Every structure is written in structure tokens, then in C-alpha cells.
Structure 1
Amino acid sequence: MSSPNLNLDKHNQVISSNLLIQADVLGQEESYMKVIVTRFLKHKLAVVGLVTFILIVLMALFAPIIAPHDPYEIGYEFEAKPSMEHPLGTDQIGRDVLSRLIYASRISLAVGIGAVTIYVIIGTILGAIAGYMGKWADMIIMRITDVFMSFPFLMVILVLVSVMGPNLFNIILVLGFLGWPPVARLVRGSVLSLKEMDYIKAGVALGYTAPRILVHHILPNALAPILVNATFGIAFAIITEASLSFLGMGVQPPTASWGNMLTEAQSLTVLAQQPWLWIPPGLFIILAVISINFMGDGLRDAVDPKSFK
């Protein structure tokens, strides 16, 4: 029979080994994150995109302070040209274009971030379940994913928004609940690869539950590709919202969005003689989308394991 002291010594050795392993893992994760940040900062276009996007976010957050006028205030000068009082002129009913442009950034960012948050959560959960559970769960989830991906995306959005009503909340919901399939497939592939790693098999042997293994050990290692997908998704959501608003199925006036400000460009008179009504919102859409795409490119290069030496 083994003595109690011997069993206690073995128990202490196991605890000490586990602590050393955890410390080593934490040190590797910290070093990995440091390398990612360093590599991202070396990507000049990504840094420019990050700075530009931060400026747009700050403009949206401090819109009441930055905007020179109330975006809904109707002035006495209709279709006024740019001046000191109205740097970007006024629209057809006398509202300050610059103020509406600044407030419109809130709508576009809300759609982009809100929709991406919803579909990343849905896609991550479904993809993790499909990849880890396998068998019938994987088959059912992937067949549902294939069905969703077979739909014509913009057509379904137009139908759903027209049925539910064109407003900010419904647009975020529709984009969020239709955008999850690519994330689910991405997460599923990562989970299928990661669950074959030795440390995951060790966790299973130690009796860890599936949720604990997924949340604490698998998903943190699959986070990088999810973040890359999310950055590009924000840009796509902003473009989609602008397209819907341009078609009259997005955010409705008097609420300003970059898309419904561009609806003025449908008139040839405005297009040719009043560029201050459509060039600024068009430029801001381009700036926002390009900056996010640059960030996504930099993040993708930073987390690419093939590029590590």
C-alpha cells in the first residue's frame, strides 16, 4: 500500500506540472499577441486604415460636438452652395450637408458593427458545434448553411426588409441573421483541425466538458481568422446599407445615412450642378470601406502562420 505522504507528493507534483504548463502557455500566448501587434504595425496601409477608421469612429461618437448645425434643422437657404456658414452647402430643404454627413456616420457604423456582431456570434456557435460534435450535428448544421448560402443575398434582404419595414433595427437584424454561414464554415474548419491537437485530446482524457474545451481551449486559438472575417464583414455591411438606402429600402429620412444622402445623385441636375450633395457621402463610404479593408489585410498578414519565422 502506498503511504498518504507519497500520494500527497504525487498530487503536488501534478499540480506543479500543470501550473508550469499553464505559465508556459500564457507566455506563448503573450508572445504570440506581441508578434501579431508588431507585424500589424509594420503594415503601413493597415496602420493608415486603423487611424482613418478611428477618426471616423470618433467623429460618430462626438457628432453633437463636431456638427456645426442640427442635422434636422430646416434653414432658409435651399440648395445653397458651400460657404463659411455651410462648408458643404445645404440640401433641397435647407439642411446643413456637413452636419448630416457627420451624423450619418453613426448609422453606417451601427449597421456594420451591429450586423457583424450578430452573425459572428451565430456563426461561431454553430460552426463550433458542427466541428466539435461531428456526425449528425455537423451534417444538419452544414446543410442548413448550404441552404442559406444558396439564396441570392441582396434579393432576400430586399424582400425581408420590405416585409419587416425599412428601418435601422430591421436592417441590422436582417444582415446579422443572413451573414453567418461563411463564419460557421470558417469556424467549423478551424475546430476540426484544432480538436485533433494533443492538448485537446489531453483535456478530453482528463474529463473536461465539451463547452469548457470549446470556450477555453479551441475558440481562443480560432479567434484570429474570425477577426479577419469580421473586419471585412463590417465593410460589406456598410456597403450593403448604403445600397439599400440608395434604393429607398434602407434607413428612411429624415434620419441621415450615407446611402440615403446619395439618393440625391439620381437627379441629373444634382449630379451635374450640385456635387456637394453627393460627393462627400460617396467619399466617406469609400474611406470607411477602404480603411476597414486595409485593416483586414494587415490583420490577415499578421496572423498568417506561414509568414512567421
Structure 2
Amino acid sequence: MAMPGMNLQKEAPIGGAREKSVQEIGRTESYLYMIAKRFLKHRLAVVGLISMLLLVLIAIFAPWIAPHSPYHLSDSFGEAPSSEHWLGTDQVGRDVLSRLIYASRVSLLVGIGAVSIYVTIGVIFGSVSAYFGGWIDMFFMRVTDVFMSFPTLMIILVIVSVLGPSITNVILILGFLGWPPVARLVRGSVLTLKEMDFVKASVALGYSTWRILFIHILPNAIAPILVYATFGMAGAIIIEASLSFLGLGVQPPTASWGNMLTDAQSLTVLTSLPWLWVPPGIMIVIAVLSINFIGDGLRDAMDPKSLK
């Protein structure tokens, strides 16, 4: 009779562990469901998400959607919108609609690439600085202060002028100059989280420092990072468009919304050929507003103070 009892005692912890695991999964799913539900209540955020998904699909399927090659030169110079060219042609005979579609690839690539670089750098710097403290914290924060003291736009213009204008250089420059705000944001979150009981329990259980930092602390600080990243994408798209407009970004014949606006520097184009500058301007506005709406929705959905 003792043996069954002993088996029950041995099996109980296993059953308890499984039950605990199921409960944790349930809590995670309910939390994600809550965030999704609250996000969907934000109408502008939903509109922004749908618009951004459409832009992504347009960028992915550009070769099949575009009616012409963006590099094809026709004998129709500055032609108004027609059945053959829905948005007209530019001053060298290229189809504006096709270039507009392919330009979405450049803008999204710059936004995603630059944000990925500086969020990665900022998360590493901020989390390591806050968790270890002491001279490490002081060193990283002073480096952050130095980078934040730079006039960003001027530095970008100088570096692009030296290295040469290209999409790769724009992504790298924006990525390596944009991390200080992320580092400060992550540092503040980690300083708060590392004093909480679950972190102290992880230390008492003997977990490694990197496991505590990157598996237990950072996932709880993901909300502000994600929100900042969405707004950062909008900023990167605007900066790329500005640099391309000035001739320091993506170079022709590669199409970008910024270098398509370059033609708008002429008074004749502004007054007589609006199809050359209105469509790329509208696309920049749509992309930036969509990302900002998504960021607003995520901020409201993940804010514990607005929990209902």
C-alpha cells in the first residue's frame, strides 16, 4: 500500500508544474488578447494598420502591380494622366505610377532598417547600463549624452556628403545616430524592473545575469520600446525623403518618394505638372500618418493606467 502513495507523491509535483505552465500560457494569451482587443477599439490605429499592410503588400508585389518598368523611358515627356499612364509621366518619359509603387520599397526599407539598427543598439546599451550600474552606467550614459549633443541633421548631411549618397549609407547613418533616446528609455524601464520581486527571486535561484536581463527583464519593457520604434519608423521615412529631395539620399534612377519630389523645386512643375509631386507627397503623408496612428494605438493598448 505504500508504493501507490509514494507514486502519488512523486507525480504530484509534475502535475503541479504542468498546471502552472498551463496557467502561465493562459495568462500570456489573455494579456495578448486584451492588448489586441484594446488596439482594435482605436479606430485610427486600425485604419493605420490596414493602410500600412496595403503599403507593405504594394512594396512586396511591386513587379506584378506596376504597369510599366520604373526605368523605362518612353517618348511621352511630362504627359498628363491618361488611360496608358494613370498618373502621367515625368520629364524624361518614365511612368509616375510605376515609380511611385517601387518607391514604397525604398521608404519602408529605410524605416525598418534604420529602426532595427538603433533599437538593437539602444536596447543593449540601456539595459546593460541600468542593470550593472556603477562606472558602466556612468560610461554608457556619458557616451549617450555626447551623441545626443550632436546636431543630428547637420551630422547626417556631412557624413552623407563624405560617404556618398545611397540607400545603404542612409540606413546605416540613421541607425547609428538614432539610438540614444532608446537607450535612455530602456535604462529607465530596467532601473524600475530590476528592483521588483521576480528579479530578486531569479537572482536567488542562481539564474545567470544575461538570462535575467534578456529573458526576464527586457520582455517586461517591450511596450515602450515598441511604441517608440513605430514613431521612429515615421521619422526615418521623413528624413530619407528630405535627404533624397536634397539630392543626398537615394539617387536616380532608383525611385524614392523623396527624389520624386525633387522635380517640385521648379515653379513650372509646381503650377503646371502637379502629377509629378502630388502623388509622392500624398504617399509620404499616408505612410507617416499610418505609422503614427499605429503607435498611438499601441501606446493606449499597452498602457496599464488605461486598463478597463
Measure how far apart 1:291 and its partner are. 0.4
Matched, 1:104 2:103: yes
TM-score normalized by structure 2?
0.94
**C-alpha spacing 1:262/1:50, structure 2 compared with 1 (3 Å):** same
Partner Cα separation in structure 1 for residue 9 and residue 124 of structure 2: 39
In structure 1, stretches of 5+ residues that fail to align are: 1-7
Partner Cα separation in structure 1 for residue 129 and residue 62 of structure 2: 43
1:87 counterpart residue number: 86
Measure how far apart 1:28 and its partner are. 2.0
1:192 counterpart residue number: 191
Partner Cα separation in structure 2 for residue 12 and residue 162 of structure 1: 69
1:269 counterpart residue number: 268
Which amino acid counterpart does residue 170 of structure 1 have in structure 2?
A: N
Over the aligned positions, Cα root-mean-square deviation in angstroms equals 1.9
Which amino acid counterpart does residue 183 of structure 2 have in structure 1?
A: A
2:3 counterpart residue number: none
In structure 2, stretches of 5+ residues that fail to align are: 1-6
Measure how far apart 1:163 and its partner are. 1.0
Partner Cα separation in structure 2 for residue 72 and residue 260 of structure 1: 14
**C-alpha spacing 1:220/1:117, structure 2 compared with 1 (3 Å):** same
Q: Once the two structures are superposed, what CA deviation does each residue of 1:106-138 show, in whole Å capped at 9, x if it has no partner? A: 000000000001111111111110111111111
1:305 counterpart residue number: 304
**C-alpha spacing 1:14/1:192, structure 2 compared with 1 (3 Å):** farther
1:3 counterpart residue number: none
Measure how far apart 1:11 and its partner are. 8.9
TM-score normalized by structure 1?
0.94
2:23 counterpart residue number: 24
Q: Secondary structure at the match of 1:182?
A: helix
Partner Cα separation in structure 1 for residue 9 and residue 262 of structure 2: 74
Equivalent residues in 2 for 1:142-291, closer than 5 Å: 142-291=141-290
**C-alpha spacing 1:12/1:222, structure 2 compared with 1 (3 Å):** farther
Q: Secondary structure at the match of 1:172?
A: helix
2:77 counterpart residue number: 78
> Higher mean Cα deviation, 42-51 or 30-39?
30-39
Measure how far apart 1:75 and its partner are. 0.2
1:296 counterpart residue number: 295
Partner Cα separation in structure 2 for residue 25 and residue 182 of structure 1: 33
**C-alpha spacing 1:164/1:49, structure 2 compared with 1 (3 Å):** same
Partner Cα separation in structure 1 for residue 138 and residue 127 of structure 2: 13
Measure how far apart 1:214 and its partner are. 1.2
Measure how far apart 1:43 and its partner are. 0.4
Aligned length: 304
Partner Cα separation in structure 1 for residue 65 and residue 253 of structure 2: 20
Q: Secondary structure at the match of 2:83?
A: coil
